[in-house]
Structure 1
Amino acid sequence: MSVDCDVVIVGAGPVGLTSALLLQKMGHRVQVYECHAKHYALPRAVFLSHQAVRMFRALGVLERMKSTQALQDLHGRVSDIGTYVDANGHTLRTALAFAMHQPGVEEELENACRERDIPVYRSAEVRDIVDNGRYVEVNFIKPGNVEGTMVSLNTVTASFVVGCDGAKSTVRQSSKMGWFEYEAASSRWLVVDIIPTVSGAMSQWKDSYSPKQILDPKRPRSSVPSQLARRRWEFMVMPNESTEMVTTDEFVWKMVALFECGPDTGAIERRTVYSISGGWAESFAQGRVALAGDAAHLAPQFLGQGLNSGLRDAKSLAWRIDFALRHPAKNWRQLMADYSTEQLGTTKQFVTAAKAIEHILTVTDPEDAKKTRRTA
C-alpha cells in the first residue's frame, strides 16, 4: 500500500522537530502534527548537553540558535560548571551544564523544518493511531475555518509513527504502552524566571556566573543564570505553603531577594509550581510505533536530563527507522526492540539518580542536613 509519508511525528517540541530534521536529512518524507496553534512562549528547560549541541551543529541549526541567543556561548559569561553548595556556600559537588532558551530553540528548529519542506501541521490534535502491521493510520482533528464550526476528522498514513507528544502522550495511550511511576511526587518547587529591567542588573545579582543547587534546610533552592536576557530560580515549597501563596508577587520577590534581585532591577516573566515525579513507559517501541522524550520518560530536573535524554532518544531512533525504511525485508523489528531496551536502561538510571538527588536536596531538618553535607 502507498502511504502518505514515511514517518509521522506527533508533537512539535524540540524532540519531535529534531526527529523530523534527522529523518529528513536521511532522505525520508516526514510530517509533523501538533495540537497547539503556537509555540509555548515561556521558558522551561534551561540546560543543554554538549552532545545535543553537536547534534544541532550537524543539522545546520546551531549558528542560528547562537545568533538569536536561543543557545548561548557560555565561555567567559556563565560557567559551564553547575555547583552544589550547602547553606554556608561551601561547594559539595560540580556538574556540567550549558544554557538554552527553549522557546527560541523550538522556533529555530521549526523554521528549519519549514525551510526544508517538512510540513508542520499545527492545531492538529491526534486522537488515536492504528498499527495495521504494514503501515500506521493516524487519526486527527482540525478546527473548522469559521469559529464555532464543527471540527473535521482526518487520517494520514505512514510507515512509522514517533510519539513526541509529552507526558500525557496520546500515542502511548493509543498504543497501550504502559507507564511505570517510579515514585509518587514527593516535593513541590516554585519556578521563577526574571527579566532584567536595568542594564547590567544580571551581573549584579548574586551567583550570576555559576548554576548552583543550594542545600539549605530552611529553603532548598536552585540558582540558574540561564541567559543574558533572563534568570531562573527554583525554590522548594514547604508543606504548609499553598500554590496560591507562593505565586504572589510578595512571596516571589521575597525569595529572589536572597540573590539580591528586586522589582527595582527586574520583572517577573514566569512563575509556576510543579510537583516532582519520575517514571517511564514500560516499552519505548511497539511494532511501527515508537516513543521519545517526555512521552517515554519523565525525570526530575536536578540532573538536567529531561530534554537532553529526549534528544538522545531522537538520535538513537532515527537511524533505526532509516534502516527499516531502506531495508523493509530485514529484521528491523529487532532493531526497534533494541531501541527500547537501550534507552529504557539509560532512563531507569537517570530517573532513579535524579530522585535520589531530590531526597538529598529537600532535607529540611538541620541535623539531617549536616549528615547530608558529609555524604553529598
Structure 2
Amino acid sequence: MSGVFLSKGLFPSDFFQPTVDFILNCQQDDGSIPWFEGSYADPWDHTEAAMALSIGGEWDAAAKAYQWLADNQLDDGSWWAAYKAGEIDNGERRESNFVAYIATGVWHHYLISHNKNFLKRMWPTVERAIEFVLSLQSEHGDIQWAVKPNGSPKMDALITGCSSIYKSLECAINIAVTMGEDSAEWVAARESLGDALRNKPERFDRTWESKARYSMDWFYPVLTGVLSKTQSQARLKERWDEFVEPELGCRCVSDEPWVTIAESCELTMALLAAGDHARAVNVYSWLHQWRLEDGSYWTGYQFVQDVLWPDEKPTWTAGAILLAADALTEYTPAAKLFTEVNLLSEGKSVPTSSTLIK
C-alpha cells in the first residue's frame, strides 16, 4: 500500500495494529526486542521498538522491554553493543548514544502512560546510564562515541550519535525534574554538547573519513532539537536533492541508490521539527509501498537494481513507522517528543492529558 496521508487527529489504529503486533510477536520472554526473530537486540533499536509498543497501547510489554535494560545494565551504567538469547552477542564496545537512549524511551513511555511508579522504578537505571555517557564528554563538549572492552574510550565523536545524546539529555533532565532530583550538571553538559554540535565541527570525525555522506548526519541535528527552526530549515534545504528520492524516500547515504524506511521516518519528524508539515506528510506517504501483510516493513529499497535490500524487516523500522505516524497525527501525549524541545525546569511538571491512549 502507498499514499497513506496522515494529519492531526487521524491516526488509523486498525491500519497500524498489525505493525504493533509484529513488534509484540518478536519480543522475547525476557523483554528484549531483537531486530527480527532469531536476530540480536541492541540497546538503541530495542528502545525504538519499545516506544512503538507504548504508542500502540501495549504498555505492559513496553515496561517489560525497559525492565530488560535494567536487568542487563552493567555496573558502570552501560550496555554491550548487542545481546542474543540472553547472552552478549557483541562485547567489542559499548556505545554512548546506545546507552543514553534509555532516557528517551523511559520519558516517552511516561509521557504516554503517566505512570509515576514506572518512572521511579527506572530512575536508577537512567541515572547510571547518563552518568556513564557524561563520563565520556570532553572539555570541548563532544562525547566519545564508545568505549573498548576494557572501558577505555574510543577517542572520536559522531554528529549523529551526539545529536541523539542531546535529545536523550533533554529527556533525562525532564525525568530528574519530575523525580525532584538535581539536574544542574546534566543541564550544563547538554549546553556544552549543543555548543559543540553547533559551533565546533572540528570535534567530529577526527580520526576517520567524514560521515557527511550519511543522511542522519544531515537531519539528526534537526530531529533532536540542536538547531533553531530557521537553522533547521536552511540545513534541510541545503542537501535535500542529495538525499531525497521523490516517491521513494530518503537515502541512507548520498552516493548509494538505496532509500531506507527508518531514515525516511526520521526525516519526516525532522521536517515537522523544522515547521515543514506539507513535506513531512508527503515523504511519509511514500513509505507504505514497503509494507508487508503482517504489518512489518522492509529495511530499504535499492532503486537502480530494483531490489528490496537487505532481506530484513526490522522491529526498529516498524518502530520508526509508528513514531512518525504519532508525530504527524498527534495521537499520544508523546507525539511532539522529536518535533519540539520541551525542557522542564524545577517546579514545572508535565501537563496531564485528559485523554490517555491505551
> TM-score category by the smaller chain?
under 0.3
TM-score scaled by structure 1?
0.22
Pick 1 or 2: higher relative contact order, CA cutoff 8 A, min separation 6: 2
Which structure has more helix as a fraction of its residues? 2
Which structure has more strand as a fraction of its residues? 1
TM-score scaled by structure 2?
0.23
Which structure has the greater CA radius of gyration? 1
